[in-house]
Structures are given as structure tokens and as C-alpha cells.
Amino acid sequence: MQPVSEQTLWMRVPDPSQHDHFLRLFMEAQDSLRVYVRSLLFHREEEREVMQEVAAVLWRKFEAGMTRESFARRAFGVARMEVLAFRRDRARDRHCFGDEVFEILAQTVEEHSETLEAERRALGQCMEKLPAPQRQLLEAAYAPGVRIDQLALQMERTAMALYKTLHRLRLRLLECTRKGLAKGEL
Amino acid sequence: MQPNDPRLELIRLHLEGNATAQEFAALEEHLRNDPGFRDFYVRAVNLDVALADVGKLSLRPAGEAAVTSSQPILGPWWQRRPLSAMAAGVVFGMFFSSAVWAYVAPMAAKAVTLFRDSFESGQAPLVKGMPIEPGKWSGDFSEVVGEQQGVKPKTGAKMLRFLRADYEGKTGHEGHYYADVYRLIDVRPHRNDLEDGGAAVSLSAAFNAFAFPQKEDFWCSVAIHALGSPSALDRAQRREWAIYSNSLAMVRNRRTKLDRDPATWQRVDAELRLPPDTEFLLIRLSVDHAHPSQRRASFDGHYLDDMRLDLVRRSPQP
């Protein structure tokens, strides 16, 4: 059987309304949480791994009657602890932000959560504005498990050149979403 | 920030995992002291996260708008470990440049369509909740209709209209605000394709609604449950929520909010890597009231059309 942590989680639920409640709160918080976790880590793969743990811990600690605010508060706290644990256990040789930056990044993500969500929603339209080869390059570079050095090799480019190209494309998308939302076009 | 701001390079290096200790310290210093830089950094991270979701999309039909926020809600973090299994979701678009295609193509193979429907038979789903046998739609109250109030079927001349969030005999109607239809698919004929853990199913469906009040919003969602035996479904039918604990694996995508334009259909996709012992798939397609203040069992004009379920090959599990 495929290991599905969710199964174990669900089987602990005595009341079906609780899982709906948890899911709803988690879904509302998950994008902000992902941004927060990603902001503290070096790789997308690390973010996925940490988020898996965050979700499991949140479920174990879930209490009936939690509000959106109390859940989000706890979720950011758990995310912070899981990032620290991940860095401690899995990445002893890497750098880690200090407490102050952990705190202010959490505040920044929470304060801007609506704007960030709007930008994520607008991304599709901005992607459509890119020439097809650039859009496809982004999709390929961000596909799960893809390594930029290997992709560069396939494309007969240097990894650095590809990194720079992707960086320019990201800046272009950020500008597109910012302008589009400011004008109310997206 | 200006495009030529040298601090952009720090963000790039950090997000790519290539920052040196010195560069990391410089980044931290800017994050601590410059709110403007911090805001930009968070936006850049937000984009990185959103692009990762785009990268997970696969088999998107040509000519349809990208749904950028279609990450399965119980997808990668819950559904699959180890992370190397995530390599399953490699994108291959319809118009890849040759170099990119060369990278991706070895991981993809021809898809087999398990199921496709757009309600052209005119037969309405059973109103009995979860289906009791493969090959029939069942779920909450719904009807099959033609063009209505400016909403034209996505394909063909018919589409499904969700009517209510309950079904015949369902007790405790109060509090229900998800209108669901289900279909059970027997995948035992494909058992050999599932043995190496490299098979996945890709579900895609189109949703629409006629104009609704500004104060209301509606989500549309699709879910796939992999079931090991009919008994799993039996248990779920006795208590609907038990489908979660009786599934070998599941994925659900509830990230698309319906727009107010009856002329546009919004496509929602999900993909699930199948455990080798999967025998049945239960697909669930839903619309729900987004805000607590609007929740009710009735739906005024919400439609479903053009479902497709494909069996696709991904890299085998390590």
C-alpha cells in the first residue's frame, strides 16, 4: 500500500465535522504557510518536505472550535518550529535566519496574504502574455524534481545562463502582476 | 525595487539554493532592516511557490486557460512520501520547444482515456449519494440540461446542473453546502499497468455558473480516491466521510473559484499516482458555497461538463 499519511490522520477522527473544519482552516492558511516556509528555506523540495510535517503536526494538535485566527497563529508557530527542526536535522551545514527575521517574515506574509493571493491568481494571465517558449521554459524549470543544471544541459546552455533567464522571467511576471492588479486588469 | 538593484541577485541566489554564507548574511541584513526589500522578497517567494504549482500541472488540454492555483489540497505533502515521488508530475505541454521536449518526453507515454462524458445521453445522475456500482453517475440532486440563462454546454448540447447539496434519504440536511456527483470506475482491467507504481490518473472537468451576486462566491473541486476493493466503498456508503479513511490514496483540488462570466468555463484538474493494489477509482466533482454567510443546500445555476479521466504513465516509484 502506498504510504498515505492522510489515512492515519483521518482514522483518528471521531467526528466527521472535525475533518471538514480542519480542512477548511488548513486550506485557508496553506498558501500563506507555504510562502512563509519557502521564504526560510533554500529549495522548493525542502518546502514540500517541511509542509508535510507541518500539516501532520497541525492535525495532531487540532482542537475543535479553533477559529481561523487561532489556527493561523498556531500554524505559523508550527511552521517555524518545523523549519528549525528541518535545518537542525537535515541541513547542519547550512545557514539559517535568526529569530528576528523569522518573526518579521511571518508578519509580512500574514499582513500581505490577500495581496499575495491576488498575485497568485493573476499569475495565469501574466503567464499567458509570455511568448510560448518562455512560458514553457518556466513550466519545465518548475516541474517537480527538475534540476536546472540538467535542464540546461539538455538545452545546450550553461546553468548560470538558464538561472539568469529564469530570474528575468520571474521579474517580468512580478511586474506584470503588480501592474495588472494596480490597474484592476487582472 | 528597480530591475538593476543588486540586491535582486541575493534573492535569486537564495531561492536557487546557491547563496554563499556571505550572501546569505547580506540577505538577512536587508530583510531585517528594509521593509521595502522584505515586501519584495516575500512577493518573489510567493511567485516561486505559485510557479511550482504551475509546474505540477500536466496534460492540460490545448487552448484552455491555465489554472495556476490548481495544486491538490491534499496532494504532495499528504499524499506521497518520499519526495522523490513528486517527480511524477513532470509537465509536458502541447507546444514545448524541442530542447525542453527532449528533456521531458522520456518520462511521458501515451495516455489511455478511462472515461469521458459530457452528459449527451441526457440521463440524469442517480440521487443516492455515492454510487453503488461502476458506470453510473450518482450524487446529490442534479439534472441534465441544455443551454440555460446564457450558459452554453462546454461540449455537445447538454451539461449537468447542480441543484442541491443533498440527496434522497440523506438526513440532517441542515449544514450541507457541497453539491456533489460521483462516478465509480473499475480499473481492474488495467491491473498490469499499475504494478510498477508508475501509473497515474489525470482527471479534468469544466465548471461554469450564470451570474451570481457579488457578495457570494463558489468553489469548484474535483477529487480522486483510489480504492482497494468494493468493500472500501461499502464502508464509505454507510458513513460518507469514511471514504477518506478507506482510500488507498486520494487527491482533491479545490482551488478554483468560479467567475461570474457565463461565457467562460473553468477547468479544474487533479492527478493521482495509483497504488499498485488499486481496483476502483471514485471520482467526485463538486461545487460549494464559499462563505459561511451564504451557505445553503440549494444552488441556483452551477454547471458541470466535459469530464475526462486518463490513465497516464509517470516514472516508476523508486
- Assign domain B112-313 to a CATH class: mainly beta
Distances (CA, A) of B29 to A101, B7, B18, B32: 9, 11, 17, 5
Domain positions in chain A are 5-111, 114-183
Q: Which of A1, A11, A136 sits opposite B245 (nearest CB)?
A: A11
Runs of H (alpha helix) within chain A: 5-11, 16-40, 44-60, 68-90, 99-111, 113-129, 132-141, 148-154, 159-183
A1–B248: do the CB atoms touch at under 8 Å?
A: yes
B261 to chain A, closest Cα gap in Å = 14
CB-CB neighbors (< 8 A) of B48 in chain A = 38, 44, 170
Each residue's pLDDT, cut to its tens digit, for chain B (318 residues) gives 777 788 999 998 888 888 888 999 999 999 999 999 999 999 999 999 998 877 654 323 333 332 323 333 223 222 322 222 222 222 222 222 222 222 223 333 446 889 889 999 899 999 988 887 888 899 999 999 999 988 999 988 999 999 999 888 775 555 678 899 999 999 988 888 888 888 889 999 999 999 898 889 898 999 898 888 766 677 666 556 567 667 788 787 766 889 989 999 999 988 888 888 899 999 999 999 888 788 888 999 999 999 999 998 876 655
The Cα A94–Cα A91 span in angstroms is 6
Give the distance from residue B145's alpha carbon to the nearest chain A alpha carbon, in angstroms: 31
Q: Is the pTM of this model over 0.95?
A: no
Subunit contact A52:B81, Cβ cutoff 8 A: yes
A6: nearest CB among B24, B74, B99? B74
Nearest to A144 among B21, B87, B100 (CB): B87
Among residues A51, A118, A45, A47, which one has the least CA distance to residue B69?
A118
Cα separations in angstroms, B244 against A35, B254, B289: 28, 16, 21
* ipTM of the predicted assembly exceeds 0.90: no
- B88 vs A contacts (CB less than 8 Å): 144
Cβ of B273 and A2 within 8 Å? yes
> B248, A104: Cβ pair inside 8 Å?
no
Distance from CA of A77 to the nearest CA of B (A): 18
Collect all residues with Cβ–Cβ distance below 8 Å to A158 and sequence separation of at least 6: A152
For B24, the closest of A95, A127, A137 (CB atoms) is: A95
Burial class (CB in 10 A: 0-12, 13-18, 19+), B244: buried
Task: Answer yes or no: do B90 and A42 touch at CB < 8 A.
Answer: no
CATH topology of domain A114-183: Arc Repressor Mutant, subunit A (1.10.10)
Measure in Å the smallest separation between the Cα of A62 and chain B Cα atoms.
Answer: 16
Cβ <8 Å between A7 and B244: yes
